[in-house]
Structure 1
Amino acid sequence: MEVLQSSNFEKTIQTKEWVIVDFWAEWCRPCLMLAPIFEQTAQEMPDITFAKVNVDEEGELAMRFGISSIPALILFHKGQPVATHVGTISKERLKQWIQSHR
């Protein structure tokens, strides 16, 4: 699981074919509920880079992508956002959501 910040965000999304980014915060209960699902899915889908952005620490990145509710997931393909999901999601639905956009 990669932790993305302004300093490494662009390099990560540009150099990896598929990246899914979880925009989250420590105080967000739904974010904490999603965290183990996100981590388990990352282990089951090693061909995708799973990364996290803490919106409290990286507000500029959150604003750049219009994040107004968290948790928010953005799926990137070759540096371009292709899909966004806001809110919690089950592991099965997360995998289906990812596959439907590949």
Structure 2
Amino acid sequence: MSDVVILSGNEVISLDKNVSFMDAELVKFQQIDTKIREAIKSNFPNYRVWTAELEGCDGVCAEVLQPGKDWQKGRLKLVISYRVEFTPDKVPGLESPLDDLRSQLNPE
């Protein structure tokens, strides 16, 4: 069983002071998500064309040559996907005496 939590909503996060891209120590996940999206957009020329965010745009015209095939005309589209994971630290002493038995009965 994985303890990883995928952040995606209104979770509130307390950050280490050394995190450089955020201006606050206490933020909602949505604020981090917005900063990441802004960084991608500002550091990628013609972001809206590459991601086909413009109305009537299907991406960037291109030709591709694959091994063993001829040149093929088409469009390139940049698809950016990321996720933010939170892994809680294990707290010593909070384990149940039944945890060993559970792990033996339900091996992963």
Structure number with the higher strand fraction is 1
Instruction: Answer 1 or 2: higher relative contact order, Cα 8 Å, separation at least 6.
Output: 1
Larger Rg: 1 or 2? 2
TM-score for the superposition, normalised by structure 1: 0.24
Structure number with the higher helix fraction is 1
TM-score for the superposition, normalised by structure 2: 0.23
